[in-house]
Amino acid sequence: MARDEEKEKLKKTILLLQDEIERLSSPPYITGTILDFADKNARISVDGVGVFEVPFGDKLKEEYKTGARVIINPMTKSVVGQSEFDIASGRVVTVEEVDGKNLRVQNRGESCFVLSNLEGVKVGDEVMLDPSGAIALKHWGKKKTPYVLEKIPEAPWSNIGGLEGIIGIVKEEIEDPIKHKEVFERYGRNPVKGVLLYGPPGCGKTMIAKSIAYNLSQLTSCPGKKDGHFIKVNGPEILDKWLGNSEGKIRRIFTAARDTASENGAPVVVFIDEADSILKTRGTGVSTDIYDSIVPQFLAELDGINGNGNVITVLASNREDIIDPAILRDGRVDRRIFVPRPSEEGAAEIFMIYLKNKPLDCRSFGKKDIKGIAEESSAQIYDGRNVAYRVVSPKGTLGFFLYSNLASGAMIKGIVDRASMYAIKREIAGNGRGISKDDIKRAIEEEFSDHDGFAQAIVPTDWEDVFGHNGRQYNRACQQGYLTLENIFSRIEDSTKLKEVKE
């Protein structure tokens, strides 16, 4: 009896060892995907290797279908079973065309055909390919564009100071044709397809674009359908190192805009900030090849907008001079709106917006109301003795950029933020309450002198403001190093000195 038990135990051990020897001596299996079947063979896309034809009997055909993941013995090149693992990695691509069992997809910037057994795949959908990239295995559905904003930020016109004239033009050009659609139609006037907002940095272009979207959503609001009216893209986000991908992105942005507009029955604003970075003039040497294909795609999309006011393109740029003229031609983005630096009155309005509801030390300003305080603060920037840069040529001084030539809404906000900080510190230390005139003065000095890269913020129109029709020429001379900007950033108290230097 004991002998029998021992025998049985030994038998089990031998069997186990046999299994182990087999496992250790067999090569690692590889995996693949069945593409399709012929009479006696199956075509299999072997992961990371390529496509093989392997013998495949009728019995096996009953077991496996196109798209099945299988284990292959590399020695015998035969299918040994079904893989139980998910695909470790597969590329997700966008479908460009569906033709029976073939899909044309966009893969790493190239169009290529892959097989597919998937049901209901449509153009614009995303599919996952098998690791060799031969067959689409999974349907991800429509690619969600990351560009549609679900909610439009609240941005009433009253948040913007000193730009009434500009806002008036925007309202006339964009809001009125939508508000009074029938009247405009009777006179045969189509709503604009696009506007270009251009001008120096920090002066409200982005704010205006947001307000356009917000106000349109208010105008056309229908209950429950207020979302998704604003698609904001930064130009450089569109640039892609893969040839063809940038065009694809533009196409997707406009498709999303048109879809959202028709779903919601309300206008969608496509806002492209820093538009000059993608829409540079073609073939001038200013641009490289990539613009030669982005600009035509953009034009095609603009021309595809049907002009019923449903999709409005707003471009913003501070280098409108390098945008391809075809984009700005009639019937496309044909309204150019210059968003200037604030005037002294405009700056006072912006001060009012940011000083509102803040504790103020009215006595130090010698004023009772916020309007007077805002005007006083603005006057401190626009004092003609505040010199930022001296423009110097080899022959001497050509002129000056004053603080007023460089002021912007963004800086005024920065000044108020700084002044608030001084006041907070003083109040904590128990030395009084409220923003004082000195706080504003100090904040202006620091805002201007602290500002790195100021010179880059000077745009061609600023040169024209200071030097009239010579401005653009001087600007170029400065870029080429014939003229220099000498930092001053302080008040030249002595007006004769200012004059002396000037001469």
Ligand X SMILES: Nc1ncnc2c1ncn2[C@@H]1O[C@H](COP(=O)(O)OP(=O)(O)OP(=O)(O)O)[C@@H](O)[C@H]1O
**What residues line the site for ligand X (CB under 6 A)?**
160-163, 201-207, 316, 318, 350, 353, 409-410, 413
Q: Does the footprint of Mg ion cover residue 277 (CB under 5 A)?
A: no
Residue with Cβ nearer ligand X (161 or 309): 161
Shortest distance, CB of residue 407 to ligand X, whole angstroms? 10
Please select the residue that binds Mg ion; options are 94, 145, 206, 287, rule is CB under 5 A.
206
Q: Does the footprint of Mg ion cover residue 317 (CB under 5 A)?
A: no
207 binding partner (options ligand X, Mg ion, none; Cβ < 5 to 8 Å by kind): ligand X
DSSP track, 191-249: PPSEEEEE-STTSSHHHHHHHHHHHHHHHT--TT-----EEEEEHHHH--SSTTHHHHH
Say if residues 495 and 503 touch (Cβ distance below 8 Å). Answer: no
Shortest distance, CB of residue 210 to ligand X, whole angstroms? 8
Q: Give the span between the Cα atoms of 264 and 267, in whole angstroms.
A: 8
Say if residues 365 and 460 touch (Cβ distance below 8 Å). Answer: no
Residue with Cβ nearer Mg ion (94 or 206): 206
Shortest distance, CB of residue 459 to ligand X, whole angstroms? 9
Q: Does the footprint of Mg ion cover residue 211 (CB under 5 A)?
A: no
Q: Does the footprint of Mg ion cover residue 404 (CB under 5 A)?
A: no
Q: Where are the alpha helices (DSSP H) in 245-343?
A: 245-264, 289-304
* Segment interacting with Mg ion (CB under 5 A) among 109-117, 203-211, 240-248, 419-427: 203-211
Q: What phi and psi, each to the nearest 5 degrees, are found at residue 107?
A: -125, 120
Question: Which pair of structure tokens corresponds to residue 486?
Answer: 């000498």
Residue with Cβ nearer ligand X (319 or 491): 319
203 binding partner (options Mg ion, ligand X, none; Cβ < 5 to 8 Å by kind): ligand X
423 binding partner (options Mg ion, ligand X, none; Cβ < 5 to 8 Å by kind): none
Give the other-Cβ count within 10 Å of 377's Cβ: 28
Give the other-Cβ count within 10 Å of 22's Cβ: 9
Q: Does the footprint of Mg ion cover residue 380 (CB under 5 A)?
A: no
Burial class from Cβ neighbours inside 10 Å (0-12, 13-18, 19+) for residue 373 reads buried
Q: Calculate the alpha carbon distances from 244 to 1, 98, 123 in Å.
A: 80, 19, 17
**What residue is closest to Mg ion based on CB?**
206
Say if residues 195 and 311 touch (Cβ distance below 8 Å). Answer: no
Q: What phi and psi, each to the nearest 5 degrees, are found at residue 149?
A: -80, 130
Q: Give the span between the Cα atoms of 95 and 104, in whole angstroms.
A: 6
Binding-site size, Mg ion (CB under 5 A): 2
202 binding partner (options ligand X, Mg ion, none; Cβ < 5 to 8 Å by kind): ligand X
Q: Give the span between the Cα atoms of 275 and 234, in whole angstroms.
A: 7
194 binding partner (options Mg ion, ligand X, none; Cβ < 5 to 8 Å by kind): none
Residue with Cβ nearer ligand X (126 or 274): 274
Shortest distance, CB of residue 114 to Mg ion, whole angstroms? 41
Q: Does the footprint of Mg ion cover residue 408 (CB under 5 A)?
A: no
Q: Does the footprint of Mg ion cover residue 318 (CB under 5 A)?
A: no
Chain Cα centroid distance, residue 27: 51
Shortest distance, CB of residue 272 to ligand X, whole angstroms? 12
DSSP track, 346-368: HHHHHHHHHHTTS-B-HHHHT-S
409 binding partner (options ligand X, Mg ion, none; Cβ < 5 to 8 Å by kind): ligand X
Chain positions contacting Mg ion, by CB under 5 A: 205-206
